[in-house]
Amino acid sequence: MAPAAVPLNIKWLPLNSKLKAKSQLQTSSRNIEFERVQLPEKTRNSTVLVLGGTGRVGGSTAIALSNLCPDLRILVAGRNREKGEALVAKLGGNSGFSQVDLNDQDSLQTALQDVDLVVHTAGPFQQAEKCSVLEAAINTKTAYVDVCDDTSYAARAKSFMSRALAANVPAITTGGIYPGVSNGAYC
């Protein structure tokens, strides 16, 4: 059951909801037909920042979000402006790029201002000593999800639970990417 007050303006649709638009996603090996998610009116202006969006997993995440929910504003965030702007050109007018330094808390907090959800895909998580993105998300009251599959990082991230609850910030850690996005099933 969802928390009583979620700062995200996203209302999840029941599995039996009628989806209105169909699209095709071309991958290197096949075409996949899928139905677009029809977002409720208040959710259409939501902004999702995909941190690590210039990498393989983050780029795939941004493309999938853009295809499935074209009303979302997608901000691709990463170190490489050239790669980021190339992806933004593919995503279209409802997207943008933000250059972010994971090691600079001010840079992270600035990037998370006016963002409804941050999807943290900037790995490798195994080398991260801090949970700086999660910390910035809690400080800015931004909903958070990561694709971490490293147990040490996951333990550190889970130690932020009481802070996230006190700030009323939904935080999902260790969402993992295997066997999903990283194994080519959606790439």
Euclidean distance between the first and final Cα of the chain, in Å? 31
Residue 44 burial (CB count, 10 A)? 15
Give the model's pLDDT for residue 174.
Answer: 84
Structural domain includes residue 1: no
pLDDT band for position 133 (cuts 50, 70, 90): very high
Domain assignment present for residue 170? The answer is yes
Asked whether the beta carbons of 105 and 130 are under 8 A apart, the reply is: no
The total number of residues shown for the chain amounts to: 187
- pLDDT for residue 45: 76
pLDDT of residue 187: 31
Cα–Cα dist 9/22, whole Å: 24
Is 8 domain-assigned? Answer: no
* Strand (E) or helix (H) holding 146: strand 143-146
Query: Is residue 111 a part of any domain in this protein?
Result: yes
Q: Would you say 169 and 141 are in contact if contact means Cβ atoms under 8 Å apart?
A: yes
User: For residue 142, what are its two tokens?
Assistant: 């931004």
For helices 105-112 and 132-140, give the axis angle rounded to 10 degrees. 50
Q: Is the pLDDT of residue 186 over 50?
A: no
Asked if residue 7 belongs to a domain, the reply is no
CB 157 within 8 A of CB 148: yes
Per-residue pLDDT of 135-163, as tens digits, reads 999 999 999 999 987 888 888 999 999 99
Whether residue 179 has a cis bond before it, omega within 30° of 0: yes
State the residue range of the domain holding 120.
43-184
pTM, entire model: 0.75
Q: Is residue 113 part of a domain?
A: yes
Q: What percent of the chain has pLDDT over 90?
A: 48
Query: For the domain that residue 103 is a member of, what is the CATH number?
Result: 3.40.50.720
Look at residue 3 in the predicted model and tell me its pLDDT. Answer: 35
pLDDT tens-digit series, residues 21-71: 444 444 445 555 656 656 566 666 799 999 999 999 999 999 999 988 888
Our count of domains for the chain comes to 1
Kindly state whether residue 101 falls inside one of the protein's structural domains. yes
Q: Is residue 18 part of a domain?
A: no
- Residue pLDDT, tens place only, 89-115: 999 889 999 999 888 999 999 999 999
Q: Which amino acid is at 175?
A: G
